[in-house]
Amino acid sequence: MPTLLLVHGGLWEPGMDADAFWRRPGVVTGLERRGIDVLTSDRLVRADPARRD
């Protein structure tokens, strides 16, 4: 089974995360119904120049 990694857009929007961008609208469910394993990731809302990881 193929695996798809989804990284959400929605930068600078408070409350925007992978759940709000991919899961709630049904994107993940639709892909899973078609036999695709789906990974979603969260990221910082804004870039943090102090982070070094």
Tokens of 8: 């959400």
Residue 14: exposed, middle, or buried by beta-carbon count in 10 A (0-12, 13-18, 19+)?
Answer: exposed
Residue 39, pLDDT score? 96
- Residue 25 is classified by DSSP as T
The whole-number pLDDT of residue 3 equals 97
pLDDT digits (tens, 9 = 90+) for 1-53: 899 999 887 777 788 889 999 999 999 999 999 999 999 988 776 776 676 65
What pLDDT shows up at residue 53? 56
Which helix (H) or strand (E) segment is 16 a member of?
A: none
pTM to 2 decimal places: 0.75
Phi-psi region of 11 (alpha: psi -120 to 50; beta: other; left: phi over 0): beta
